[in-house]
Amino acid sequence: MPTSAKTAYTQVTRYVANSAFNQAVLFFADGSYLQLEHRSIDTRWAKASAEPSMADSVCQAMRLFRLNARHLQLYFSDGSDAEFVVHPPSPHASGDGQP
């Protein structure tokens, strides 16, 4: 049986975060998404776009998450964890497909 982290890794299609790294969204292959916010100790939440969905399954399996400029880390009740990182655009990318 796959871990919750492995399921998340195989189902997430995109990860985006705002420039302050206090809000993020994980998009899943089934079209659902998971919104996360972590502004302070008192303001930390995650919400799935729909239920039932992959976002809802991942949200229900989470016990904690960490969101900062370095990464989004999801900690699951089965003991597994998944890390997602925003990859900045290449400084050499011109937008026309040429390096």
Report the pLDDT value the prediction gives residue 15, as an integer from 0 to 100.
96
The answer to the question of residue 40 being in a domain is: yes
The answer to the question of residue 36 being in a domain is: yes
The answer to the question of residue 97 being in a domain is: no
Domain count, the chain: 1
**% of the chain with per-residue pLDDT over 90:** 83
Which domain range does residue 34 map to?
4-84
Mean pLDDT, residues 47-73: 97
Mean pLDDT, residues 55-65: 98
Instruction: Compute the distance between CA of residue 95 and CA of residue 24 in angstroms, rounded to an integer.
Output: 24
Tokens representing residue 68 in the block: 């900062």
The answer to the question of residue 96 being in a domain is: no
Report the pLDDT value the prediction gives residue 41, as an integer from 0 to 100.
86
Phi, psi of 31 (to 5 degrees): 95, -10
pTM for the complete prediction? Answer: 0.86
